[in-house]
Amino acid sequence: MKKPFAITLDPGSSLANKTGSWRTERPVYVDHLPPCNKQCPAGEDIQGWLFHAESGDYLDAWTHLTRDNPFPAIMGRVCYHTCEGVCNRGKLDSAVGIHSVERFLGDGALQEAWGFAAPQSETGKHVLVVGAGPSGLSAAYHLRRMGHAVTVLEAGAKPGGMMRFGIPKYRLPRDVLDGEVQRIADMGVSFRYDHKVSEIAAEMVDLKADAAFLAIGAHIAKRAYIPAKDSSRILDAVSILRSMEGAEPPKLGRRVVVYGGGNTALDVARTARRLGATEAIIVYRRTREKMPAHDFELEEALQEGIKVKWLSTITGAEGGHLTIEKMELDADGKPQPTGEFETLDADTLILALGQEVDLSLLKGIAGLVTEDGVVQVDPDTMMTGHPGLFAGGDMAPGERNVTVAIGHGKKAARHIDAWLNGATLAPKLERQVASFDRLNTWYYSDAPKTVAPQLDLVRRTSGFDEVQLGLTETTALFEARRCLSCGNCFECDNCFGVCPDNAVVKLGPGNRFEINLDYCKGCGICATECPCGAIDMVPENS
């Protein structure tokens, strides 16, 4: 080529100059564990399903969610959503209403009649699940997905366990419960009701089961000794809540006193109000701060006119009069009697002092250990001391609530599957938690949480309609989009845009980005300006 005067070289592009050689640190895309996911007892990938919900892909969101938990409509109502307590957005304005979006997805799935796919192939193994409560149903669902034949044996006439016999209808409508259980039955799980297992070993032989998962729950009410004359009417909370499922609601009278401070105490007091009690009084021996019940439920109960006598115990009952002793907290925070007494009138006294497990079906099983009234299991696998026998839910150690039970069922299912294949699962690698200080919150705009409308107070106390209403599609979408996507790329294009060297390659929707190390100088702007902390700067090896 003939060049102009004084020109000796062809013009070239600076692309020939690989500035990547300057680098001492390189950006690396990471997926850190969002605090909500870490917190979830059922192991849901919350950030993952919210990502789909944000773009209105509700089927994808629901499918992603139900990978871990088959009950979004139930969860959205009864889970205590501790995920929201650790939500990083709570430090910015208020936590994302995860449970509201979950419920919206669950309700939508019921409405659209979305179902679970049957397993691709059968393993030929048969697993027995004892108890159709949340834990048993969760295990049955996951085992079936893995291709095992599953038979669920339930002592009651209907599935649900404590979700049916413990949680009042105003918190969990029964059509929602039935709908989500039916979906599991539709996968080919067989259910036998009114089938109380008296000896698990014999039952396994009869049904030719290769393994069993026990989740019979804790249905025996604890009693407290209260000296009482014959005329006093003393009932327990478990049987009242259970009888709510019968034809004839229990008769409790106009003045009802509930003894205890847990969520069951609140449930039964609120139920009593709905059954026509003009006064429902909770007697609890400690203070509000010490109460095991969740504060939002107490708040709802107080709004409905439930009264609470703090720092009080019941020492006697006679002919509709209760003797109450005042308590005070000692230096250790334990309640101590003061010797001051008063009288409280009550038509019915309801004891809500906790529940115990009926362990009789386990007699004669070798290697099994029971302690503190529950079956001991390996916390990593949920297997009892007897090989092939797993247990979870309220009958195993752990916090007693629906979500924990569902988590037990999922974990047990994974390890039952491994055990049936003669394998053991390696523990999952702990991922780094996506903490708030890793976020660049400048990029998130302020938006308050959408408050799900609540039923009018008047309607609430006079019937069993659901108290918490759901979100509309508009508000659910809004709520989902408040997710900060902590620690996981949500394709905001920031890294792609802010690189002064065009060294970030955009791979297109759903495929995220990669770094072109030929040109990346390692300045770190992409990591600093990543809103969600999904880029780490890693030193280059010298």
Partner 1 sequence: MVQDIKFYQTGTFTVGNRLLDPDQRTVQSSIDRNNSLTSGHRACQGCGEALGARYAVDAAMRATNGQLIAANATGCLEVFSTPYPETSWQLPWLHSLFGNAAAVGSGIAAALAVKARKAGKSQSDVRVIAQGGDGGTTDIGFGCLSGMFERNDDVLYICYDNEGYMNTGVQRSSATPPAARTATTMAVGPDPGAEFGKGKNVPLIAMAHEIPYVATATVADLRDLEAKVEKAMSMRGARYLHVFVPCPLGWGAASCDTIKLARLARETGIFPVFEAENGEITHVTKIRHKTPVEDYLRLQKRFAHLFGTPGRPEVVARIQANADRNIKRFGLLEEVPA
CA distance 303 to 414: 43
CA distance 196 to 372: 23
**H-helix segments, 220-294:** 237-243, 263-274
CA distance 74 to 55: 23
Decide if residue 11 touches partner 1 (CB under 8 A). Answer: yes
- Piece of 187-195, 212-220, 420-428, 505-513 that binds partner 1 (CB under 8 A): 505-513
CA distance 87 to 485: 10
Decide if residue 475 touches partner 1 (CB under 8 A). Answer: yes
CA distance 306 to 239: 21
Interface residues for partner 1 in 94-153 (CB under 8 A)?
A: none
Decide if residue 525 touches partner 1 (CB under 8 A). Answer: yes
- Piece of 3-11, 146-154, 380-388, 416-424 that binds partner 1 (CB under 8 A): 3-11
CA distance 539 to 542: 9
**Size of the residue set binding partner 1 (CB under 8 A):** 59
CA distance 485 to 471: 21
Question: Which residue of 120, 445, 511, 541 would you call a contact of partner 1, by CB under 8 A?
Answer: 445
CA distance 347 to 320: 6
- Piece of 126-134, 270-278, 426-434, 528-536 that binds partner 1 (CB under 8 A): 528-536
Closest distance of CB 530 from partner 1, Å: 10
Closest distance of CB 31 from partner 1, Å: 17
- Piece of 120-128, 388-396, 428-436, 474-482 that binds partner 1 (CB under 8 A): 474-482
Closest distance of CB 9 from partner 1, Å: 4
Residue 456 neighbours by CB distance under 10 Å:
10
Question: Which residue of 75, 477, 486, 515 would you call a contact of partner 1, by CB under 8 A?
Answer: 477
Binding-residue pattern over the window 399 to 438 for partner 1, x denoting contact by CB under 8 A: ----------------------------------------
Closest to partner 1 by CB, 412 vs 503, is 503
SS3 226: coil
Decide if residue 451 touches partner 1 (CB under 8 A). Answer: yes
Decide if residue 491 touches partner 1 (CB under 8 A). Answer: yes
51: left (phi over 0), alpha (psi -120 to 50) or beta: alpha
Question: Which residue of 75, 350, 420, 523 would you call a contact of partner 1, by CB under 8 A?
Answer: 523
Interface residues for partner 1 in 13-42 (CB under 8 A)?
A: 13-19, 22
- Piece of 168-176, 287-295, 421-429, 496-504 that binds partner 1 (CB under 8 A): 496-504
Decide if residue 536 touches partner 1 (CB under 8 A). Answer: no
Closest distance of CB 265 from partner 1, Å: 33
Closest distance of CB 91 from partner 1, Å: 15
Closest to partner 1 by CB, 43 vs 522, is 522
Question: Which residue of 500, 511, 541, 542 would you call a contact of partner 1, by CB under 8 A?
Answer: 500
27 DSSP β-pair partners: 537
- Piece of 64-72, 174-182, 333-341, 527-535 that binds partner 1 (CB under 8 A): 527-535
Decide if residue 511 touches partner 1 (CB under 8 A). Answer: no
- Piece of 202-210, 293-301, 306-314, 475-483 that binds partner 1 (CB under 8 A): 475-483
Closest distance of CB 542 from partner 1, Å: 18
Query: Which residue in 160, 138, 135, 134 sits closest to 67, CA to CA?
Result: 138
Closest distance of CB 211 from partner 1, Å: 44
Exposure string (b/e) for 407-420, b if CB count within 10 Å is 16 or more? bbbbbbbbbbbebb
Query: Which residue in 404, 305, 283 sits closest to 352, CA to CA?
Result: 283
CA distance 209 to 153: 12
Contacts of range 321-326, beta carbons closer than 8 Å, 24 or more positions apart: 321/345, 321/346, 322/257, 322/283, 322/346, 322/349, 324/283
Residue 205 neighbours by CB distance under 10 Å:
10
CA distance 493 to 503: 13
Decide if residue 539 touches partner 1 (CB under 8 A). Answer: no
Exposure string (b/e) for 99-122, b if CB count within 10 Å is 16 or more? bbbbbbbbbbbbeeebebeebeee
Please report, as ranges, the residues that interact with partner 1 according to CB under 8 A: 9-19, 22, 54-55, 442-445, 447, 450-451, 474-475, 477-478, 481-485, 490-494, 496-503, 506, 508-509, 516, 518-519, 521-525, 527-529, 531, 537
